[in-house]
Amino acid sequence: MSTIRVEDARFTYRTTTGFFRRQTREISALDGISFEVEAGGLFGLLGPNGSGKTTTVKILTTLLIPTSGSATVLGLDTTRDAAALRRRIGFVFGGERGLYYRLTGRENLRYFAELYYIDPRSRNRRIDELLDLVGLTERADERVMVYSRGMKQRLHIARALLHAPAVLLLDEPTQGLDPLASRDVRGMIAGLRARGVTILLTTHDMFEADALCDSIAILNRGGIVARGTPADLKRSVDDLSVVEIEVNGVVTDPSPDLLCLPGVTAATLQEGGPVPLLQVQTALGARALPQLLARLDGIDVGRVSVREATLEDAYVRLVGGQEN
């Protein structure tokens, strides 16, 4: 039997808009998704903001009741068996909430250990083991208010593991972390999987998903648009190459103008680096360069390269490069 099973889960909620003339709309956050996670597996949920990832995790952690359909973890129904299930799972939501900043790291774990009714005779040993696991032994007796964001996230993971859960649900655990802290957290996740913990992970980081996950489902607008291993999803873009073009001093995003060109299936402008970077998916490979550069006439173009498609490119193709 699968450790996690979601069957035709739907979740809708109502929202009110308008100031003088109030109107109520029903929003579908999940539109009948189904998937399974085998024991000891590491399953990834990817998708744009608003695609339903966090809603799914909240259903699995008993924080939300699905409008219809069902979800079970360890054979326990997330609605009917919520109290019993909470004692057998651990979960971490991205962000810094959920810790007591005026307490030390050790005091935080001691407090949560009492909430989990962990045997006082083994409590201190368990806390020491977890502090060592997440690399916080030397800082355990400092107040959490002086911890970096990465240290707080490691403490969150230690807290989630206090009662030795068989299933761990992680909602964007590396969100907002610097590269070194993200690498540390990824290492911990891989180590937990090696110990046999079943893990469900949501993330926006394609490298993280590719490196960690056995299987992946991509969500968009509340539905699953693709599912498979990272290798399966990368094979789905074997027909594509990606042209990367550095563009300097652009005022408006030129990528929409490129979508009408023959062979171009997606185009996005990445502005997070030192130089804006156009990423163009095309079946033509290097043969697309003349028409692309001609369409960018008048724009200061820097480095141009052509590479093979990656998991990120498969994601862009599947969700259309659009955030919900």
Residue 128's alpha-carbon distances to 121, 135, 158, in angstroms, are 13, 10, 10
Q: Tell me the per-residue pLDDT of 145-199, one tens digit each, with 9 for 90 and over.
A: 999 988 999 999 999 999 999 999 999 998 888 888 889 889 999 999 999 999 9
Q: What's residue 79's pLDDT?
A: 96
297/235 Cα distance (integer angstroms): 33
Tokens for 146, please give them.
Answer: 């002086």
Work out the burial of residue 25: count CB atoms within 10 Å of its CB; fewer than 13 is exposed, 13-18 middle, 19 or more buried. Answer: exposed
Burial class (CB in 10 A: 0-12, 13-18, 19+), 299: middle
Model pTM?
Answer: 0.84
The answer, yes or no, to whether residue 62 has pLDDT greater than 50, is: yes
What distance lies between CA 28 and its chain's CA centroid? 20
DSSP state of 249: S
The CA distances from residue 126 to 106, 158, 190, 289, in Å, are: 11, 10, 20, 59
Higher pLDDT residue, 199 or 18? Answer: 199
The CA distances from residue 18 to 14, 21, 25, 27, 216, in Å, are 14, 6, 11, 16, 39
Single-letter amino acid code for the residue at 136: L
**pLDDT of res. 57:** 95
Phi first, then psi: what are they for 148, rounded to 5°? Answer: -70, 170
State in words which class domain 239-308 has. alpha beta
Question: In which residue ranges of the chain is CATH 3.40.50.300 found?
Answer: 1-88+165-232
CB 27 within 8 A of CB 14: yes
Determine the pLDDT at residue 24.
Answer: 80
Q: 217 has which bridge partners?
A: 45, 227
Which pLDDT does position 77 carry in this prediction?
A: 97
pLDDT at 127: 97
Instruction: List residues bridging with 90 in a β-sheet.
Output: 168
Instruction: Give me the DSSP letters along 179-222.
Output: HHHHHHHHHHHHHHHHTT-EEEEE-S-HHHHHHH-SEEEEEETT
Average pLDDT of the chain, as a whole number: 91
The answer for 162, left when phi > 0, alpha when psi is -120 to 50, beta otherwise, is: alpha
Q: What is the pLDDT of residues 253-312, one digit of tens each?
A: 999 999 999 999 889 998 877 889 999 999 999 999 999 999 999 899 999 999 998 999
Sheet containing strand 167-171, edge to edge, reads 89-93, 167-171, 198-202, 42-46, 215-220, 223-228
In the DSSP assignment, the letter for residue 46 is: E
For 41-52, how does the pLDDT look when each residue is reduced to its tens digit (9 = 90+)? Answer: 999 999 999 899
* pLDDT for 324 beyond 50: no
Nearest to 59 by CA among 38, 73, 46, 75: 73
Check if CATH label 3.50.50.60 holds for domain 1-88+165-232. Answer: no
Does pLDDT of 212 surpass 70?
A: yes
